[in-house]
Amino acid sequence: MKIALIGSGGREHAIYWKLKQSTYAEVDVFPGNAGIPEEDRKKDVFKEGDFQSFKDYLVKNQYELVVVGPEQPLVDGLTDAISESIPVFGPTREAARIEGSKEWAKYFMEKNGIPTARSFSCSSVEEAYDALDQMPAPYVVKADGLAAGKGVTVTESIKEARHAVQDCLERKVFGESGSTVVIEQFLKGREASVFALCDGKKAIPFQPARDHKRAHDGDRGPNTGGMGAVTPVEYIDARLLKKIQSDVLDKAIQGFASEGSPYKGLLYAGLMIDDDDVNVVEFNCRFGDPETQALLPMLDEDLAELMMQCAKGDLKTDFLRFRELANIIVVIAADGYPGSYEKGIDMTDLLGTMPESPDTLLFHAGTQLEAGSIKSTGGRIAGVVASGPSIEDARNQAYALLDKRKVPGTFYRMDIGTLP
pLDDT for res 215: 96
pLDDT surpasses 80 at 142: yes
Q: Using omega within 30 degrees of 0 as the cis cutoff, is the peptide bond preceding 31 cis?
A: yes
35 phi/psi in degrees, rounded to 5: -80, -10
Q: How confident is the model at residue 55 (pLDDT cuts 50, 70, 90)?
A: very high
Q: How confident is the model at residue 138 (pLDDT cuts 50, 70, 90)?
A: very high
Q: How confident is the model at residue 356 (pLDDT cuts 50, 70, 90)?
A: confident
pLDDT for res 23: 86
DSSP 325: S
Q: Which fold is adopted by the domain 118-185?
A: Dna Ligase; domain 1 (3.30.1490)
CATH of 326-411, one of 3.20.19.10, 1.20.1730.10, 1.10.10.10, 3.90.600.10: 3.90.600.10
pLDDT for res 49: 83
pLDDT surpasses 80 at 257: yes
Average pLDDT in the 386-401 region? 96
pLDDT surpasses 90 at 150: no
> Distance between CA 93 and CA 97 in Å, rounded?
7
Share of the chain above pLDDT 90, in %: 93
> For the segment 192-223, what is each residue's pLDDT rounded down to a tens digit?
999 999 999 999 999 999 999 999 999 999 88
pLDDT surpasses 90 at 420: no
pLDDT for res 227: 98
Does 3.40.630.30 match the CATH number of domain 2-93? no
- CATH architecture of the domain formed by 189-311: 2-Layer Sandwich (3.30)
Of 135, 142, 181, 126, the residue nearest 156 (C-alpha): 135
**Mean pLDDT computed over every residue of the chain:** 96
Least confident of 63-67, 350-354, 374-378: 350-354
Q: What residue segments make up the domains of the chain, in order of their start?
A: 2-93, 118-185, 189-311, 326-411
280 phi/psi in degrees, rounded to 5: -90, 120
3-state secondary structure of 255: helix
3-state secondary structure of 354: coil
DSSP letter for each residue of 358-412:
TTEEEEE-SEEEETTEEEE-SSEEEEEEEEESSHHHHHHHHHHHHHT---TTEE-
